[in-house]
C-alpha cells in the first residue's frame, strides 16, 4: 500500500538513497532539506532545520495539506572535537539539530498516525553510540535517538505505530567524507574497525530503513539495528 513518508535531510547521502528507494516502490516522499535537488523523487520542502520556528511552520503546513504515514529522522550534524576542545555552542547545535527536529517531526505526524491506527518512525542513529574518540556531541545526540526510540516504542505500542532506529557504521556519504577523505588517517582508522574492510553504501543503509517502514516489520518496535559491516560485533550493546 502506498504511504507518505517524511524524510529529513533527504537530498544527500542516506536520505537521498532512501527517497529514491521509497519512490521506486510507489510511495510518496516529502523531503525536508536546506536546498532543493533537481530530479528529487518526490517533493522537497526547503527549510533550515536548525531553525526551530521555520521547521515548525513547514511541518504545520504539511500536516494541514495531507496525512504523513511515516517519519524518518535522518538529518545530522557532526562537529568533531576532543573533550578539551568541545565548544559549548557546537554541543548545543549538534544536540539541537539531531534531537529537537526528531521530536518536532514525530509530534507533527503523531495525531494522524494515531487516528489511522498506523504509523512508522525510524530514527537514524550511529555506530558512534558504542564509543569513539572526538565525538562528544554527535555520539551523545545519536544515543539520544536510541533512547527516544525505546521510550516512544513503549508509548505507542498499542497505537499501531512502530518506532525503530538504524545505526549505520562508516558510510560513503558527503558528511563522512568531509572529515575522512580518501587516503586520510581517519579513513584508515575507520576501515580497520570494520570486519568487512569496506564502507557501507547509502543504499545499503536505506534498504534497512525501508524494511522497518514496511508492513513486514509490523511486529518490530523499540529496536536499534546496526548496519555496519560487523563493526559493532563484540562491543557492548546499549
Query: Based on the number of CB atoms within 10 Å of its own CB, is 81 exposed (0-12), middle (13-18) or buried (19 or more)?
Result: middle
The catalytic position among 138, 148, 176, 190 is: 138
What pLDDT, on a 0 to 100 scale, did the predictor assign at position 188? 94
Q: pLDDT of 2-55, one tens digit each?
A: 999 999 999 999 999 999 999 999 999 999 999 888 999 999 999 999 999 999
Q: Rounded to whole angstroms, what are the CA distances from 218 to 29, 43, 69, 231?
A: 20, 26, 14, 27
Q: Which stretch of DSSP H or E encloses residue 150?
A: helix 136-156
Q: Which of 7, 20, 200 is nearest to 101 (CA)?
A: 7
Distance of CA 132 to the CA centre of its chain: 19
Residue ranges of domains in the chain, CATH in brackets: 4-172+202-227 (3.40.50.720)
> Which pLDDT does position 35 carry in this prediction?
86
What pLDDT does 174 receive? 85
Series of mean pLDDT values for 10-residue runs along the chain (238 residues): 96 97 98 93 97 98 97 95 97 98 98 98 97 95 98 98 98 87 92 96 98 98 98 84
Which pLDDT score is estimated for 238?
72
Angle formed by the axes of helices 136-156 and 88-95, to 10°? Answer: 30
Q: Answer yes or no: 219 catalytic.
A: no
Sign for the CA dihedral angle at 74, 77, 83, 87 comes to negative
Q: Do residues 231 and 194 touch, judged by C-beta distance below 8 A?
A: yes
Amino acid at each position: 500500500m502506498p504511504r507518505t513518508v517524511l524524510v529529513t535531510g533527504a537530498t544527500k547521502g542516506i536520505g537521498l538513497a532512501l527517497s529514491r528507494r521509497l519512490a521506486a516502490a510507489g510511495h510518496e516522499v516529502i523531503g525536508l532539506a536546506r536546498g532543493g535537488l533537481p530530479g528529487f523523487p518526490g517533493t522537497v520542502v526547503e527549510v533550515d532545520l536548525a531553525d526551530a520556528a521555520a521547521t515548525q511552520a513547514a511541518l504545520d503546513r504539511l500536516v494541514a495539506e495531507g496525512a504523513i504515514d511515516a517519519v524518518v529522522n535522518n538529518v545530522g550534524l557532526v562537529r568533531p572535537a576532543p573533550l578539551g576542545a568541545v565548544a559549548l555552542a557546537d554541543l548545543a547545535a549538534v544536540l539541537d539539530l539531531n534531537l529537537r527536529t526528531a521530536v518536532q517531526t514525530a509530534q507533527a505526524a503523531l495525531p494522524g498516525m494515531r487516528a489511522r491506527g498506523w504509523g512508522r518512525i525510524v530514527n537514524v542513529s550511529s555506530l558512534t553510540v558504542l564509543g569513539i574518540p572526538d565525538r562528544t556531541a554527535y555520539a551523545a545526540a545519536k544515543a539520544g535517538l536510541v533512547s527516544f526510540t525505546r521510550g516512544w516504542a513503549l508509548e505507542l505500542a498499542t497505537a499501531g505505530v512502530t518506532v525503530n532506529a538504524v545505526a549505520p557504521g562508516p558510510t560513503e556519504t558527503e558528511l563522512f567524507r568531509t572529515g575522512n577523505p580518501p587516503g586520510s588517517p581517519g579513513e584508515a582508522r575507520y576501515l580497520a574497525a570494520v570486519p568487512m574492510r569496506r564502507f557501507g553504501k547509502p543504499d545499503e543503509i536505506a534498504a534497512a530503513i525501508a524494511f522497518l517502514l514496511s508492513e513486514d516489520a509490523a511486529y518490530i518496535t523499540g529496536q536499534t539495528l546496526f548496519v555496519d559491516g560487523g563493526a559493532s560485533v563484540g562491543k557492548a550493546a546499549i
